[in-house]
Amino acid sequence: MFRVKDVILSFSGEPLFDPFNLTIQNGDICLLQANSGAGKTSLLRWIAGIPSSDILSGGSIFLNGKEITKLPAEKRQIGILFSEPMLFPHLSVEENIGIGMSSSIRGTKRKELIQNSLARAGLCGMERRDPLSLSTGQQTRVSLIRTVLSKPALLLLDEPFSNLDEDIRTIILNYVLDEIKMLNIPILMVSHDPRDNELSTYPPVTFTKPYTKKN
């Protein structure tokens, strides 16, 4: 289970939204929707432990009953996928995916897991490809596979399907939903696409605008 309690993010001394509370059960997807600039990506970065230096924050993060607010990013067991793929250009597709995997998975088992994941995501046979030779949609899929194979305890998605055409979107949705069932983890997803509403286990949530005192 994932929970944030009384979260406040401020920029230049001004809060971006009223104190924010949210609970997501394992295996569930929660959709976060708000206007541009409202603080959605900033919230995801704060949860993941990589906040922007110009954002002040307060509040608590709990994951599977443990408070992780003060833990460094690498100890939070949180996978995050931004709208930009963020692949390493000097590594092959296979090597990019392997970065997130446990070092205990080795040899043939490691190779087969990567190959099977690529095939399920519609990228069969692309293990040795240069990531810069891929389309934006293909790069997004590689990033998603890398994130999922890291076996996170929580998955954060920031506009994950915005660069995908309809057919590929369906393939990736099925891949994500299958992985959620296998991992049994909560997912917090930011999206402006109304088609994503059907994925959310709960009614989409949003921020409440902070009260501004009139002069």
Q: How far apart are CA 21 and CA 35, in angstroms?
A: 18
Query: What CATH homologous superfamily does 2-87+150-199 map to?
Result: P-loop containing nucleotide triphosphate hydrolases (3.40.50.300)
144, 160 contact by CB (below 8 A): yes
The answer on pLDDT for 66 being more than 90 is: yes
The answer on pLDDT for 212 being more than 70 is: no
Q: How far apart are CA 41 and CA 39, in angstroms?
A: 6
Give me the chain's average pLDDT, please. 89
The answer on pLDDT for 19 being more than 70 is: yes
Which two structure tokens, joined as six digits, stand for 196?
């994503």
The mean pLDDT of 23-38, rounded to a whole number, is 92
Task: Tell me how far CA of residue 115 lies from CA of 71, 89, 90, 135, in angstroms.
Answer: 33, 20, 20, 19
**What pLDDT is attached to residue 163?**
65
Going by C-alpha positions, the residue among 84, 86, 104 that lies closest to residue 149 is 104
Q: How far apart are CA 113 and CA 119, in angstroms?
A: 10
**pTM to 2 decimal places:** 0.90
Please report, rounded to a whole number, the percentage of residues in the chain having pLDDT higher than 70. 97
119 contact partners, CB below 8 Å, separation of at least 6: none
Rg of the chain over all Cα atoms, to the nearest angstrom: 18
**What pLDDT is attached to residue 36?**
84
Task: Tell me how far CA of residue 209 lies from CA of 8, 19, 185, 192, in angstroms.
Answer: 12, 10, 29, 18
**What pLDDT is attached to residue 120?**
87
Q: Tokens 């399907």: give the residue.
A: 161
**What pLDDT is attached to residue 211?**
55
**What pLDDT is attached to residue 103?**
86
Could you count the other beta carbons within 10 Å of the beta carbon of residue 145?
Answer: 24
The answer on pLDDT for 215 being more than 50 is: no
The answer on pLDDT for 125 being more than 60 is: yes
More confident residue, 35 or 44: 44
The answer on pLDDT for 164 being more than 80 is: no
Q: How far apart are CA 103 and CA 111, in angstroms?
A: 12
